[in-house]
Amino acid sequence: MKVIRDKISITINQLYEELDKSLDLKKELDYDTEFPELVINETRIKILKEFIQIFKVLKKDITADVNMLNLSKRLKLHFSQLKKVGTVNYKRNIEYFTTLLKVGYSLMKFKT
């Protein structure tokens, strides 16, 4: 169990690093000329915060019930935003966030 909690801690730290990068990017984006990127980044920030909360709950109590439905819907929105804008990192974002989602679901299934 300690190994799992340590891995969750590492994941949380990496999520905080990603969140910091996204918050820095938010400060740099111009509302008038880069509005689509700003909206996409804001969605990403919300997703990262939600993942952080989920992993904190799972770290504290691996048997906790976590509702990931809203997160799944937000991810779907984020992917459609990325596709619409035609971002270069579209596939990388899908891979990154679906992997996190799979890990979260795996941890929830692990408890049973």
Tell me, what's the pLDDT at 30? Answer: 92
73, 101 in Cβ contact below 8 A? no
Q: How far apart are CA 90 and CA 78, in angstroms?
A: 10
Kindly state the tokens that stand for 53. Answer: 């909360």
pTM of the prediction?
A: 0.87
Tell me, what's the pLDDT at 39? Answer: 93
- Domain residue ranges in the chain: 2-110
Tell me, what's the pLDDT at 62? Answer: 65
* Helix pair 69-85, 90-110: axis angle to 10 deg: 170
What residues in the chain have per-residue pLDDT under 50?
A: 112
Tell me, what's the pLDDT at 70? Answer: 86
